[in-house]
Amino acid sequence: MGIKYYEQQRIYKLDTPRTSYMMAVVDEENFLGHMYYGERLEDYDLTYLLRTGEAPFVPSENSRERCSFMDCFPVEYAGHGVGDYRDGCIRVRSKGGHSGINLTVVSHDIYDGKKKLEGLPATFGGEKECSTLEIHCEDAVLGLKATLMYTVFEDVDAIARSIKVTNVSEEELCLTKVLSACLDMDNKAFERITLHGSWARERRIQRQKVGYGKYAVSSLRGEPGHQEHPFMALVTEGTTQDMGEVYAMNLVYSGNFLVQEELSQFDSVRMEIGINPDDFSWKLNPQESFQAPEAVLVYSAEGIGGMTRSFHDLYRKHLIRSPYKDKKRPILINNWEATYFDFDTDKLISIAKQASELGIEMLVMDDGWFGRRNNDDCALGDWQVNEEKLKGGLEYLVKEVNKLGMKFGIWFEPEMISPDSDLYRAHPDWAFAIPGRTPAMARQQYVLDLTRKEVRDYAYECVAKILRSANIEYVKWDMNRPLCDIGSLGLPAGQQGELYHRYVLALYEMQERLITEFPTLLLENCSGGGARFDAGMLYYSPQIWCSDDTDAVERLMIQEGTSLIYPLSAMGAHVSDCPNHAVGRVTPFETRGYVALAGTFGYELDVTKIPEEDRAMIPKQVAMYHKYNDLVREGDYYRIASYGENQSYDCYEVVSKDKREALVTYVQVLNRPSRHSRRICLKGLDAAAKYRVEGMDGVYRGDTLMKAGIQIENMWGDFKGKIIYVTAL
């Protein structure tokens, strides 16, 4: 078991394969203090790190300076309003209007395995795979209990944390802030890494020096959004892909979030993550509980790359549940960029016929198949097949596609409603709105109030009815606008602050119903591209559309930022048409294939209209996918060079777990005059093993390939790419 409690010293020690996490209960008031998180240690009594033997001392010895103690003590889960002036994790408004709270330890439980979080996505593991610590705390003044939960995994250097809060008083309480995790530690000249962007520019890596004060990344869009991401890493100065210390947090949640670091006057850093407290409140009646989402903590002493591989392993083994999690995904072709709304049965079958001859395995019918949906201004909510477009109906189309040996998939946007729709005309109150205000549209649509059961059931049944009507094996679940005008007729005035979170819970409930009723379905989530590419959604779908920007060069940066946390198997990536529909750039068809190979792989074009030389390349790309996908999906990811940093070329590598094979992808984005070949040093190989490198004569030891490297010839022109396959003898 990876968790031990040392009763005499009142110390908790949590061990993963290569890290240790330690806390201690101190003073007669039972404060829970954070002692250590870092490389694995055999010693456990590190209470000296809490500085309780230094002035101002603990309150039982120096109550005169209680505020001073509270303001510098490295608390494990920070309260509010009782002397700690740093940002806290929890805030409660009592019936008397007070907000002070201080949690102290009462007892604990340690057990093998991990419990589910009710209504929420979370990591999982059996009794032989993980162990869990529950620390039971209380605020006796409020009559509130809180359980801090920690799970460590036997095979991954990660810790899952969450908190459950219960009102045991006889009066109503109101939660106004409940974060999921907190980490107090001394500053190590930290730099922070965060992910930022916009539509079609998701998850761009930003690195900055940590300074005094607070730095927050957050969302109030009802989803993580294109602009920010529920992730932050603090790294020691000079940290690279391969060396340096990394402390990272990622939230398993798909709604409003806050992740923040604060450097205090004492040169200590507090890092926090959880639901955004802005516009959040939760009514707790006596004996009611609130479960916060789960946060994942990762420490790496092997640089950013070590952090990345821990996140990848955790999410592949202990978060994604789909039957496709360990399987090759069918190569699909989506008709969106091929036809937009201008299609019918004949057009789709013509695409499918050509695609099937080239080895493509699934046709996905995107937006425009329902209601009067001939543009994006109408009909969301009217989920009935438009048989003027699909003559013979959906079942006929699916059967014709199946006859070609292809699977069939379909697009939905179940969370939205168009003002110009039969549904809105019948139920205008089903859309979020604030009484007296003109609601703001985005993409000419409103958001359905899924927090109301009748609305949620309607939306779910629309999807399920279509899936029951034909042999549909894939669903792309889209959401094309953020939330605003948050108001619901389904809740009283005092609980309107619960709407954002209740919306996310409703979404989770719908998707859980979907994969339960259709257990073999391949579900891909999407939100205007990558606005809801988060760990919460991976619990329901094994892949998420990475970005609406399918340009190969832009995708190098988008996919680099995404793969910083999420496994390649989760990244929806396609070969699309040129000039690219997002940026107008023309890149070689071959390079587009190499870049898409780092994800789920598919096509987003009209295969009947592309140049013959591009069409002839598709069978080769299909063969490439089938040859390398197991390695890409299951292997360890190493970043060799970043186009986002050097503005010249990109290079990454995937190495099999047994180190017997590796695949290197190199893309020369910008060629320069007088440049000779470029040396690339591989990573992650067995130093003593002997390898052959595709395209090179001879046999080389792993340490030679990692230290001396290989040469990549100068390729004439820009946007040129290649892959290099390395195998052990």
Flag whether pLDDT at 15 surpasses 80.
Answer: yes
Q: Which helix (H) or strand (E) holds 258?
A: strand 257-263
Cα within 13 Å of Cα(673), Cβ side = 0
As a whole number of angstroms, the distance between CA 381 and CA 392 comes to 22
β-strands 362-365, 332-334 pairing: parallel
What local confidence, expressed as pLDDT, does residue 717 receive?
Answer: 83
Please give the DSSP secondary-structure letter assigned to residue 631: H
Flag whether pLDDT at 674 surpasses 70.
Answer: no
Cβ-count burial 230-245 (b if 16+ within 10 Å, e if not):
bbbbbbbeebebeebb
β-strands 104-112, 130-139 pairing: antiparallel
What local confidence, expressed as pLDDT, does residue 210 receive?
Answer: 97
What local confidence, expressed as pLDDT, does residue 677 receive?
Answer: 87
Flag whether pLDDT at 496 surpasses 80.
Answer: yes
Q: How far apart are the first and last CA of the chain?
A: 38
Find out whether 171 and 152 touch, Cβ atoms under 8 Å.
no
How sure is the predictor about 386, in pLDDT bands with cuts at 50, 70 and 90?
very high
Catalytic residue among 157, 548, 577, 614: 548
Work out the widest C-alpha separation in the chain, in whole angstroms.
83
610 φ, ψ to 5°?
Answer: -75, 160
Domains 3-318 and 640-728 share a fold: no
As a whole number of angstroms, the distance between CA 610 and CA 592 comes to 14
What local confidence, expressed as pLDDT, does residue 249 receive?
Answer: 98
As a whole number of angstroms, the distance between CA 286 and CA 604 comes to 54
Q: What are the pLDDT digits (tens) for 228-266?
A: 999 999 999 999 999 999 999 999 999 999 999 999 999
Q: What are the pLDDT digits (tens) for 59-89?
A: 999 999 999 999 999 999 999 999 999 999 9
Residue type, 540: Y
**CA distances for 214 relative to 79, 85, 291, angstroms:** 17, 12, 26
Q: Which helix (H) or strand (E) holds 615?
A: helix 612-634
CA geometry: angle 521, 523, 526, nearest 5 deg: 165
As a whole number of angstroms, the distance between CA 246 and CA 237 comes to 10
Within 8 A by CB and 6+ apart from 713, the residues are 677
Q: Which helix (H) or strand (E) holds 12?
A: strand 11-15
As a whole number of angstroms, the distance between CA 227 and CA 195 comes to 8
DSSP 280-317: --EEE-TT-EEEPPEEEEEEESBHHHHHHHHHHHHHHH
Closest CA to 176 of 284, 294, 287, 286: 284
What local confidence, expressed as pLDDT, does residue 512 receive?
Answer: 98
Cβ-count burial 697-728 (b if 16+ within 10 Å, e if not):
eeebbbebbbeeebebeebeebbbbbbbbbeb
CATH H-level superfamily of 3-318 = alpha-galactosidase from lactobacil brevis (2.70.98.60)
Q: State yes or no: is 342 an active-site residue.
A: no
- Measured over the CA atoms of residue 628, residue 634, residue 639 and residue 643, the dihedral's sign is positive
As a whole number of angstroms, the distance between CA 606 and CA 626 comes to 22
Please give the DSSP secondary-structure letter assigned to residue 687: T
Flag whether pLDDT at 519 surpasses 90.
Answer: yes
Correct CATH for 640-728 of 3.40.50.10860, 2.60.40.1180, 3.40.50.300, 2.60.110.10: 2.60.40.1180
Find out whether 477 and 414 touch, Cβ atoms under 8 Å.
yes
Find out whether 656 and 628 touch, Cβ atoms under 8 Å.
no
The model's pTM is 0.97
User: Three-state DSSP class for 721?
Assistant: strand
How sure is the predictor about 672, in pLDDT bands with cuts at 50, 70 and 90?
confident
As a whole number of angstroms, the distance between CA 379 and CA 421 comes to 5
623's tokens: 């063969």
- Measured over the CA atoms of residue 396, residue 402, residue 403 and residue 406, the dihedral's sign is positive
Q: What are the pLDDT digits (tens) for 126-138?
A: 999 999 999 999 9
- Looking at the DSSP assignment, which residues form a beta bridge with residue 523? 475
Find out whether 205 and 308 touch, Cβ atoms under 8 Å.
no
Catalytic residue among 478, 549, 606, 636: 478
Closest CA to 681 of 703, 714, 656: 703
Find out whether 383 and 426 touch, Cβ atoms under 8 Å.
no
DSSP 165-234: EEE-SSS-EEEEEEEEEEEEEE--S-EEEEEE--TTS-SEEEEEE--SEEEEEE--SSS-TTT--SEEEE
How sure is the predictor about 673, in pLDDT bands with cuts at 50, 70 and 90?
confident
How sure is the predictor about 675, in pLDDT bands with cuts at 50, 70 and 90?
confident
Please give the DSSP secondary-structure letter assigned to residue 356: H
As a whole number of angstroms, the distance between CA 142 and CA 93 comes to 9
Task: Give the mean pLDDT of 311-323.
Answer: 97
How sure is the predictor about 1, in pLDDT bands with cuts at 50, 70 and 90?
low
Flag whether pLDDT at 680 surpasses 80.
Answer: yes
Say what percent of the chain tops pLDDT 70: 100
User: Three-state DSSP class for 354?
Assistant: helix
Q: What are the pLDDT digits (tens) for 271-311?
A: 999 999 999 999 999 999 999 999 999 999 999 999 999 99
As a whole number of angstroms, the distance between CA 401 and CA 407 comes to 7
β-strands 416-417, 407-412 pairing: unpaired
Find out whether 728 and 689 touch, Cβ atoms under 8 Å.
yes
What local confidence, expressed as pLDDT, does residue 72 receive?
Answer: 94
Find out whether 104 and 82 touch, Cβ atoms under 8 Å.
no
Find out whether 337 and 551 touch, Cβ atoms under 8 Å.
no
Cβ-count burial 416-451 (b if 16+ within 10 Å, e if not):
bbbbbbebbeebeebbbbeeeeeeeeeeebbbbbbb
Name the packing angle between helices 345-357 and 393-403 (round to 10°): 20
Tell me the three-class secondary structure of 463-525, residue by residue. HHHHHHHCCCCEEEECCCCCCCCCCCCCCCHHHHHHHHHHHHHHHHHHHHHHHHHCCCCEEEE
Task: Give the mean pLDDT of 3-9.
Answer: 96
Residue type, 76: E
Tell whether omega for the bond before 224 is within 30 degrees of 0, i.e. cis.
Answer: no
CATH H-level superfamily of 332-411+455-481+516-634 = Aldolase class I (3.20.20.70)
Q: State yes or no: is 478 an active-site residue.
A: yes
What local confidence, expressed as pLDDT, does residue 714 receive?
Answer: 86
As a whole number of angstroms, the distance between CA 502 and CA 280 comes to 10
Q: Which helix (H) or strand (E) holds 351?
A: helix 345-357
Task: Give the mean pLDDT of 569-594.
Answer: 96
Domain ranges of the chain: 3-318, 332-411+455-481+516-634, 640-728
Find out whether 627 and 358 touch, Cβ atoms under 8 Å.
no
Within 8 A by CB and 6+ apart from 640, the residues are 241, 651, 652, 653, 664, 680, 681, 682, 683
How sure is the predictor about 353, in pLDDT bands with cuts at 50, 70 and 90?
very high
As a whole number of angstroms, the distance between CA 78 and CA 142 comes to 16
Q: Which helix (H) or strand (E) holds 633?
A: helix 612-634
